[in-house]
Structure 1
């Protein structure tokens, strides 16, 4: 199959799970013999722009006409079977959907967050879940609260894009791939067309390194931010320490706005180590040496890569009992779930999961089996191809089987789709 992947890469200043997912999917498809091209923009490139060009970036968030023209030309030349859209913020914009309509190519879009119903995509504000913009056509609450970067001005382009492009997304994308059932439920309740929303969990590569013994530490691996539950974890760990500890230290790996606070909190302690950012190899080794991986997020996570990575390494997880974590972690079988936002509940789960090494190893083995059945590359490839075929079959004239690799396109299979969708902004 011939696939064109569309993605605006996030800044390299922070590790991006979404960038990793896109890269791994491209690698997976190519390894399976499919032809994959990538149409991308990089947020890193904004820094090199002139002052005037930087100032114009917010204007491109709702609509980038140059991208529409460039992509439409590429599609007419290359004639892919399907376009797979990931992130379009801030440099691509929903103009990519119109470009696909112009060229008459079916579109699949992975929804990595909640940007279809929430301008910053988090459904989280002031330390708690927020649904004020869900079902709101104008997303005015987000502007009022300055939900993106705590700035009303910075939030405006996102809110405008959501309002003016909602119907274009919903009519122009054949298959929306939700990365958890919890995410799909929220989007269906928001009014998105349920027949176009399907669940396709992220996959994670087999890490190679797996835990063989009891483990050496409890590991937090992720962004150091309030919404990720870092302050909650610090409070819970202080409670654990006050009651005698659990026999292993807490290792915190990552970076983010709370880094100074975490550094100061960990300083001089034997039961806590803050190690900064790990590279991918260090991450794999740290996970494989863990008694448990902890994911105490306050926000409704759409997936939770670190939990799936722990499962792949024979390691159970302690996670918040909401969002996608409920799908990933089975209480007492592959890990433990704590009450969201409750430090005492989190501390209790961490005590239990570290108290019985034999039981912990049983959970780790069950977690590995869950990974193999639900989040392995083989499963990920099968689900991805199913969705591509469904998108192709869902278009007029799309009942034809995808052409064999290397067979030239005639361009006729999708030629009439542009007239159906208008091809206009």
Structure 2
């Protein structure tokens, strides 16, 4: 197939799992013999713009007419079979969907977060799950300043969500949800269920897999409140006060809490803050882990670092809500802690590090889970299936949508407590 991938790349100063997913899917499709081209914008370029051009960027968030014209012309010239849309914020905008309609090319879209129903895409406010805008107008997000703590910065996102809602729902043949938990939230919010299918992100076969018992507990990701970094620090302090777990905590990443994490870890033997690692370093540090910790307080739509750990044969300790519930087989391939509870997180870390034999069994189960559900072969098959269905639907082929895979999606909003010696 001939595929055109549309993506607004996130700022390179911050690690982006979404950028990685796009790059990996492009490489996978090309290796399989498909012709893949990319239409992109880069958020890095905003810094080089004039002050006037920078001030105009928020106006482009709901609609960028220049992008519509440029993309439509390219589509008419190149005639791809399908357009695969990823992120359109802030420089592309939903105008890419109008371009697809102009050129009569079917579009599919991967939903990497919850921006279809929540302006900042997090379903979180003040460190707690929030669904105030789901299924209704996004005025609460503006009132609370949910994007970057600013009402003014939230307005373009709220406007885009409001004016483009129907364009998204009618202009995309297939939405790829990256978890069943995410799909359930979106269906409950009114999105067309027949267009929403679950396609988990895949992870390439890692160059390194765990061979021994591991050397550390690892947090790898953005240093932000929503990722549970402060929760982890509290839990680790409680473990340290009780004598520790015998291995240090390694924290890799950057973000708003970087200075706080650096100050907290300074002078300690049981914590190492290593800053931002490149992809090769990330793969190596995962493979040397006793466990990877993902204590997010927001409802993760996926959880790439958890699957990367699985691929390396490393169990995860993750928050028992959102997508983690379907990714981590609790007690088999990892442990789920009660969301937002430092004692539960500390208990799970203690359990996963206390018994090397059980930890090895969990690592083997995690690897098997990866092979069965998140390998490149599985990812390619699901991509191709989605593309074929979208192409057939636009051409009048009458193909019925693939069956949805709801799995155990949790409660109405994908919220489920994990088990830590208690009930869910």
Short-chain TM bin: over 0.9
Tell me, yes or no, if the aligned pair for 1:218 and 1:293 is still in contact at 8 Å.
yes
What is residue 418 of structure 1 aligned with on the other side?
A: none
Tell me, yes or no, if the aligned pair for 1:392 and 1:399 is still in contact at 8 Å.
no
Inter-partner Cα distance in structure 2 for 1:54 and 1:270: 44
Question: Cα offset for 1:399?
Answer: 6.2
What is residue 325 of structure 1 aligned with on the other side?
A: 324
Inter-partner Cα distance in structure 2 for 1:51 and 1:78: 35
Moved over 4 A (4+): none
Normalization by structure 2: what TM-score?
0.93
Question: Cα offset for 1:259?
Answer: 0.8
Inter-partner Cα distance in structure 2 for 1:109 and 1:269: 45
What is residue 107 of structure 1 aligned with on the other side?
A: 107
Inter-partner Cα distance in structure 2 for 1:315 and 1:100: 42
Query: In terms of Rg, which structure is larger?
Result: 1
Alignment map for 1:253-264 (pairs within 5 Å): 253-264=252-263
Alignment map for 1:131-280 (pairs within 5 Å): 131-136=131-136, 138-280=137-279
Inter-partner Cα distance in structure 1 for 2:207 and 2:49: 41
Alignment map for 1:11-410 (pairs within 5 Å): 11-136=11-136, 138-398=137-397
What is residue 420 of structure 2 aligned with on the other side?
A: none
Inter-partner Cα distance in structure 2 for 1:219 and 1:366: 19
Where in structure 2 are there 5+ consecutive unaligned residues?
A: 400-424
Deviations 1:266-297 (A, max 9, x none): 11111111111111111111000000000000
Where in structure 1 are there 5+ consecutive unaligned residues?
A: 401-425
Inter-partner Cα distance in structure 1 for 2:261 and 2:395: 55
Tell me, yes or no, if the aligned pair for 1:115 and 1:121 is still in contact at 8 Å.
yes
Question: Cα offset for 1:397?
Answer: 3.4
Inter-partner Cα distance in structure 1 for 2:252 and 2:195: 38
Inter-partner Cα distance in structure 2 for 1:192 and 1:399: 21
User: Residues 398, 101 of structure 1: CA spacing in aligned structure 2 closer, same or farther, 3 A cutoff?
Assistant: farther
Question: Cα offset for 1:95?
Answer: 0.4
Deviations 1:334-370 (A, max 9, x none): 0000000000000000011101101100100010000
Inter-partner Cα distance in structure 1 for 2:42 and 2:102: 24
Deviations 1:157-211 (A, max 9, x none): 1000000000000000000000000000000010000000000000011112000
What is residue 406 of structure 1 aligned with on the other side?
A: none
Give the SS at the match of 1:326: helix
Give the SS at the match of 1:119: coil
Inter-partner Cα distance in structure 2 for 1:277 and 1:389: 39
Deviations 1:280-320 (A, max 9, x none): 11111100000000000000000000000000001000000
Inter-partner Cα distance in structure 2 for 1:57 and 1:12: 18
Give the SS at the match of 2:52: helix
Deviations 1:75-109 (A, max 9, x none): 01001000000000001000000100000010100
Give the SS at the match of 1:394: helix
CA RMSD of aligned residues (A): 0.9
What is residue 417 of structure 2 aligned with on the other side?
A: none
Deviations 1:88-142 (A, max 9, x none): 0001000000100000010100000000000000001101001010011x31001
**Count of aligned positions:** 399
Tell me, yes or no, if the aligned pair for 1:334 and 1:367 is still in contact at 8 Å.
yes
Tell me, yes or no, if the aligned pair for 1:329 and 1:335 is still in contact at 8 Å.
yes
Give the SS at the match of 2:394: coil
Give the SS at the match of 1:67: helix
